[in-house]
A = this chain, B = another copy of it.
Amino acid sequence: MQRDAVMENTSPQYIPRLPVEEGDPATDGRMFRRCLGQYGTGIAIITTEADGRRGAVTVNSFASVSLEPPLVLWSIADTSRSRELFTSSGRFAVNVLSAKQMDVSRHFSSKLDDKFADAVWALGEFGSPLLDGCLAHFECETYSQVDGGDHTIIIGLVKRASRFDGEPLLFSQGQYSIADSHPAASPTPEASGAKPDTTAEGTIVSQIFEAHHLLSTRFDEHRRAEGLHLSIARILACMYDRPGLKIDQLAAATHLGQRDTEDAISELLERELLIGTEGGYSLTDAGRNLRVAIKARWLAFQHAQIAGIPEADLRATIRTLSKLIDQNKMAE
């Protein structure tokens, strides 16, 4: 590339920002996966059945393709034990998971022999298993299959779609999450631009929403400024409080994806913050010290936040929040 051409094609306001990391994904797969994790996704379990054999895989590669005809796609690893079944059955169902189905995601990501034995499901009208409790089902006929490197892209013609009530389960930056209204959108049903309700009664709920957003953003910045990836901080905390957990248990306890848990453990082992023990892992002295330092900084962050607020106000706030939490927890 000529450098001159590049400069001519650059808008004047452009100030290059340094990436956290960058490179050729052909030579650094772990970096590539972390970059891919910046694009948030839902979680779907794809199921099929043919000749009495059932298959299920958990994916975040689902995507919509076309309205007319109605097409969707997803990808299956060529190393997947279910690949032959999915490429030959001629049909599949997409089960979009809800925020309440993190355990279902884990169950179907596991290496169990018969994942359906412990699941709640029914065979759909078009011959593929439909899982209970999902946000949406797409019952498909296989429309085409396409080479996708170490995966096969499977395109389906949707014969029936259904939508259920609930919130979606999301996977973003390596961890399970839920959707929160964009902070620029009004936190209340008032459209943005509407006058806020400034009576005491109208303010508290909206204030809690706003305080939550600002505090979580501030704390995330705080953590990132320390150069500490969330997965590393979570694994450290979990190992400190509950030594001896295995990888599967760590992934479940931290709500990280299996791959991010494995990557974080590799990194902790390389940095000698963790050592392998019989059947599990435990922190080294350096790992324990880092955990203690992180915890101290979290407490300092909170102390700084409430500095200058009178003790009586803090106590009243705690009483109010406790009541709000208790009455809504009971209803859950």
Contact partner, A324, options B99, B191, B211, B303, Cβ 8 Å: B211
Q: How far in angstroms is the closest Cβ of chain B from A102?
A: 6
- A181 interface residue, CB < 8 Å from B? yes
Give A53-105 interface residues, CB cut-off 8 Å to B.
60-75, 96, 99, 102
Contact partner, A42, options B40, B167, B316, Cβ 8 Å: B40
| CB pair A153 B325 closer than 8 Å | no
| CB pair B23 A161 closer than 8 Å | yes
Alpha-carbon distance between A138 and B188 when the two chains are bound, in angstroms: 36
| CB pair B317 A24 closer than 8 Å | no
- A190 interface residue, CB < 8 Å from B? yes
Whether A193 touches B253, Cβ cut-off 8 Å, given contacts A136-B38, A162-B19, is: yes
Alpha-carbon distance between A120 and B303 when the two chains are bound, in angstroms: 39
Contact partner, A255, options B40, B192, B241, B321, Cβ 8 Å: B192
- A132 interface residue, CB < 8 Å from B? yes
Query: How many chain copies does the complex carry?
Result: 2
Complex interface bits, A132-148 against B, C-beta within 8 A gives 1, otherwise 0 = 11011010000010111
Whether A71 touches B148, Cβ cut-off 8 Å, given contacts A63-B63, A164-B17, A241-B193, is: yes
| CB pair B328 A214 closer than 8 Å | yes
- A233 interface residue, CB < 8 Å from B? yes
Give A96-155 interface residues, CB cut-off 8 Å to B.
96, 99, 102, 116, 119-123, 125, 127, 129, 132-133, 135-136, 138, 144, 146-151, 153, 155
Contact partner, A241, options B96, B144, B191, Cβ 8 Å: B191
| CB pair B25 A321 closer than 8 Å | no
> Of A262-270, A273-281, A294-302, which stretch is located at the interface?
A294-302
- A288 interface residue, CB < 8 Å from B? no
- A289 interface residue, CB < 8 Å from B? no
Most B CB contacts (10 A, CB to CB) among A34, A69, A127, A193 go to A193
Q: Which residue of B lies closest to A218 (CB)?
A: B328
List, in ascending order, chain B residues with CB within 8 A of A122's CB.
6, 9-11, 14, 16
List, in ascending order, chain B residues with CB within 8 A of A36's CB.
64, 72, 136, 161
| CB pair B177 A325 closer than 8 Å | no
Can you name 7 A-B pairs with beta carbons within 8 Å? A38-B136, A39-B64, A40-B42, A182-B255, A191-B242, A201-B306, A202-B299
